[in-house]
Structure 1
Amino acid sequence: MTLDADLHVTRGEFRLAVAVHAAPGETLAVVGPNGAGKTTLLRTLAGLEPLDSGHVVVDGVAWDRPATGVLLPPERRSVGLVVSDHVLFPRMSALENVAFGLRARGTSRAEARRRAAEWLERLGLAGHADRSPAGLSGGQSQRVALARALITEPAVLLLDEPLAALDAATRLEIRQVLAEHLADWSGVCLVVTHDPVDATVLADRILVLEDGTVAQDGPAAVLARAPRTSWAATLLGLNVYPGEADGAVATLDGGGLLRPAVCPVGRVVVTVPPQAVALHREHPEGSPRNVWRAQVAELTRLGPVVRVRLTGPPDALADLTPGAVAELGLAPGSQVWASVKANEVHAEPG
């Protein structure tokens, strides 16, 4: 399945103008600040919001094209939709909720229930099949809604914060199940999320929306190296510094200077990956072009690394191994030298 969409929607003072193209089996993470148009984009693809102009074409078939009067209603679109508030059928059990889509497509009751039971087991809900939505927790309801969308193998899968209601351990488990399912799937999936881990683990590409338009579109690795907006950089866990550059040095708004390998002139947004920030007890020797005095404010274990929050200027986040933290004897209040090589400092016009 392929998706070719050119979406133009005006609602009051808000205008969405977004082009989305996806190849078979491709998953796109849709990210952006509140009010950027993420949910409107999903609702438009699902047929819940009509286009003012443009088109939605799936595998060569037009679902929405105002210029020619084409508007396929939601129930005739091969779409699986999971919204942030779940919206389960209150008078149906969890099993019946999951089986509903198959039953609506003519699958026998026995077969639909068998497949629904398999999906509930995959998502850790085998013991909750007979419960009504009122008897489920928020996280359990979210998993039922996810199973209900996945079971029909839709051409387009639309997930609006699908893991938001889950606790940390369950989120990790269900993220893995979802990632494995999407890896073997031939449809197109769009995942709206505010979680950078969800975006990078689940998606082939990240679509950054701001003010109803696409600010950036590409693989997570590309966005992390050169984000075009402060919001995108912050989402990906980068150090972000707006400032003014003279072609060689960026003077940061919050204090301090950074020297990128390539430096524009004028307003810039400078980004530095936390893993590129090295810490030293003595002034470092060698090639770093960016060195400054800093104090350790906080240390936080993040999986295999320790994130060190530094106060400068500039303030910074540095990711170190536990061994490096122990070797340096770091603790809150420690005085250190921070350094970054010029080729790890990225400055984009801003």
Structure 2
Amino acid sequence: MHNILDLTKTQPFVSRAINAENPHGKPGQAAMTPSILGPSRKGSPALRNIAPGTTVTLADISGSGEISHIWFTLDERTTDADCFVLRDLVLRMYWDDETEPSVECPIGDFFCCGFGRATTITSIPVVSLPTRGLNSYWPMPFRSHARITVENQHPNPIPDLFYQIDYRLYDEPLAENTTMFHAQWRRQNPTQPAEDYVILDGVHGSGHYAGTYLALTTLERHWWGEGEVKFYIDEDTNYPTICSTGTEDYFGGAWSFARQQDGHTEEQTFSTSYLGYPYYSRHDELIHNNYHNDDIPPQRGLYRWHIPDPIVFRTNLKVTLQQIGSAYRGAFERSDDVATVAYWYQQEPHSAFPSLDAAEQRWPR
């Protein structure tokens, strides 16, 4: 099984990088684009004016290797009305000869920036820094080929897309039991009371679950985080092998993330190596209202990385989240607007993903 913490392969490799200054990652061919400043003087730092409906190929790599770092930056809006660029651009990744992507996700959510809005995250595999410096350190191995694309489903052209993909090419083939990186976005708007939201299903084969990002828009009153995250592993049917004791517990917090401030109680955000609650919309309420002149339901972004504690499966995996809240009379079934990204590694082939919602159906409330 591929170790997602293995950053020092013993087999020999060469280092390569792809960006707009070297779109094919060729040795000795970076910084060749003509510049008004002269040869090799910052000629092409970005892709320009990506038209609506266009899919651009960012990386097309041949050989045996591993992507070790991906960086993006772009504006999150093209006009005040067209403000969901991070939900409108779709990131896809294909390993070897597959025609169905192993990664399909709105570009913002992949980097734990849901709701079409960037936030600051400082974790081990995902880092988002001011302003919209989007970084992934998930190891992404491939045996013979890797292809990464971005599709513009935004109403307008994307003026600039800055990117860099750092990778290594190995002198020898990867082991046959190497597991490949996968990520899948889902949304249910709204969820149905007493029916668990499905984070991931239809996974067949062997591998390990590596993490969850949750973009939750609460639609009902009172505390929202009593629902358990369940892992149905291999032959599990009615009951899972692993479940959390509550939603905030799964994401590493406790007691409603509550703290006392200025005489009232509010939720406290945080970002750590393996888990975090980096985004709460009410902390940015003035910014939101200045941008949009409206009110929004409370929105929360949370992540949990199963890196020290991977969820290993041998034949099947399903992951779900209960929608359960708590009020003065105890626990109750809720209905909210839930979106997630599941991250996992498995041996190929993988099952086809559910169809991705159209761009307008991905927009946040």
Bigger Rg, which one:
1
Q: Which structure has more RCO (C-alpha within 8 Å, separation ≥ 6)?
A: 2
With normalisation by structure 1, the TM-score equals 0.23
Structure 1 or 2: larger strand share? 2
With normalisation by structure 2, the TM-score equals 0.22
